[in-house]
Amino acid sequence: MDKYKRISSVDEGSIAEEAGICEGDYILEINGHEIKDILSYKYYSNDENIELKIGKADGSIEIIAVENPYYEDLGLNFEYSLLSPSRSCRNKCVFCFIDQLPKGMRDTLYFKDDDSRLSLLHGNYVTLTNLSEQEIKDIASMHVSPINISVHTTDPENRTLVFGHKKTGDIMSRMSFFADNGVIMNCQIVLGKGINDGAYLEKTIADLCSLYPAVNSVSVVPVGLTKFREGLYNIEPFEKEDAVKVIEEIEIWQNKMLEKCGSRVIYIADEFYLTAEKEIPPGEAYEEFPQIENGVGLIASLKDEFKSAIKEITVKRREREVSIATGRAAYPLISGFARAIEKKVKGLKVYVYEITNNFFGEKITVAGLICGCDLKEQLKGKPLGQELIISHTMLRAEEDVFLDDVTLEELEEYLGVAINPVYNDGYDFVDAVIGEEE
């Protein structure tokens, strides 16, 4: 039996439990279709009448028929969440962030994931260069959407430079195949100065816009550069005038697509506006915020939510001191929020600290890449009040651990204050600052 298909537990009261499926069994087929991975499991189990081929621990096989009129989850959990090995990236991208990590961090941080299953299930970005033609056909046949794609450039010669090898595949033919089969795509272009900008960016945007509406959105984000680039491709950061030029070029496309299709399609990362020292567009410019998890429109969304949230404050006075730690990029915004809340709630004192990213380098200014060691070093001995508020993006997904392996508990003990990781939501931010009444 394939160990990746082993069932680790069965939910109590679930369809699977009622059907007699047990921990230690193996999922082999559903309605005659081989279960290759988690995508095929989810796709074929989404039916009213299901015939399961189950392997038992003693090597025997059972065929079990179940009815699922309400399309419920079957209640099976697996030792390996993908039901197959994780797929790593074989590219050698010139701006790969993992190649810029220092030595000595936990092993999982060095794993280069390029797994379409994680894209479809959790929103990770994939390049499509590491997928076989059969895997491309499987995704299309199951009509699973949306898939997030790191395109970077559509020019074949430029792709050789960006991805570090010649076998990058015909990205446009693969994406056109997805479009023809009803697969929705969100794309990102990580932009490197002098690498895939200028005429290359113009071609890439034109190619992707030609696939609208299957290409639902495209974000353009600047390359992230850490201080650990010794021996890597020389990349210069975007300066103010560079960022202004990028914004102007993309805004032409936004206006063109808005007039033609009713949607801007292309969206510019907040970081470009901050670098250009230009005002962030209003929330409506990001439409449905399709790329907010990619740092695109996050500031506009926070502003809108904050404006609504602060109007709903009913507390007139609260004797409370609280502190906030954030990155350089968000510091002016967060400071403004804090002062506005202080004016609204008498007795409230908010300390806001701008954290310099010494761990990865000062060019990294986003809050999500701040490490525990920098918080320790830069906050020790400073007034922190009753609680320190940080962005939850500083922590590893579903864990209380920073990128440098400092735990939340360890940082609380070191600083002598309770720490409250808050989601990037204006309402949550206001609630966290005001706190609950004692």
Q: List, for residues 331-376, the tens digit of each pLDDT value.
A: 999 999 999 999 999 999 999 999 999 999 999 999 999 999 999 9
Class of the CATH domain delimited by 98-294: alpha beta
**Which stretches of the chain drop beneath a pLDDT of 70?**
437-438
| Ramachandran angles phi, psi of 125, nearest 5° | -95, 140
Helix (H) or strand (E) holding 318: strand 317-327
Q: What is the distance of C-alpha 172 from the center of its chain? A: 23
Helix/strand/coil for 49: strand
| Ramachandran angles phi, psi of 402, nearest 5° | -80, 170
Give the pLDDT of residue 424. 82
Task: Give the whole-angstrom CA distance, residue 368 versus residue 395.
Answer: 8
- Residue keyed to tokens 């679930």: 14
* pTM, entire model: 0.89
In 7-116, DSSP assigns E strands to 7-10, 26-30, 33-34, 49-55, 61-67, 76-78
Give the pLDDT of residue 436. 75
- In angstroms, the Cα distances linking 269 to 148, 290, 293, 313, 325 are 16, 12, 11, 31, 22
Say if residues 5 and 82 touch (Cβ distance below 8 Å): no
Show the tokens assigned to 83: 């039901």
Task: Give the whole-angstrom CA distance, residue 268 versus residue 145.
Answer: 23
Q: What is the largest CA-CA distance in the chain?
A: 71
What mean pLDDT is reported for the chain? 93
Instruction: Report strand pairing: 33-34 vs 26-30.
Output: antiparallel
Give the pLDDT of residue 437. 60
Instruction: Report strand pairing: 387-391 vs 418-422.
Output: parallel
Show the tokens assigned to 272: 């470009």
Task: Give the whole-angstrom CA distance, residue 82 versus residue 38.
Answer: 5
- In angstroms, the Cα distances linking 422 to 99, 393, 429, 433 are 29, 8, 7, 10
Question: Any idea which architecture 3-78 has in CATH?
Answer: Roll (2.30)
Enumerate helices (H) and strands (E) in the chain, giving the number of each.
14, 15
Query: Cβ atoms within 10 A of the Cβ of 145, count?
Result: 16
Rg (CA), the chain: 24
Query: Cβ atoms within 10 A of the Cβ of 231, count?
Result: 6
CA quadruple 117, 120, 126, 129: dihedral positive or negative?
positive
Helix/strand/coil for 363: coil
Q: What is the pLDDT of residues 78-128, one digit of tens each?
A: 999 899 888 888 889 999 999 999 988 877 787 788 887 877 777 889 999
Say if residues 231 and 283 touch (Cβ distance below 8 Å): no
Fold (CATH) for 303-434: Rossmann fold (3.40.50)
Task: Give the whole-angstrom CA distance, residue 92 versus residue 275.
Answer: 27
For the chain, which residues make up each domain, given as ranges? 3-78, 98-294, 303-434
Same fold for the pair 3-78 and 303-434: no
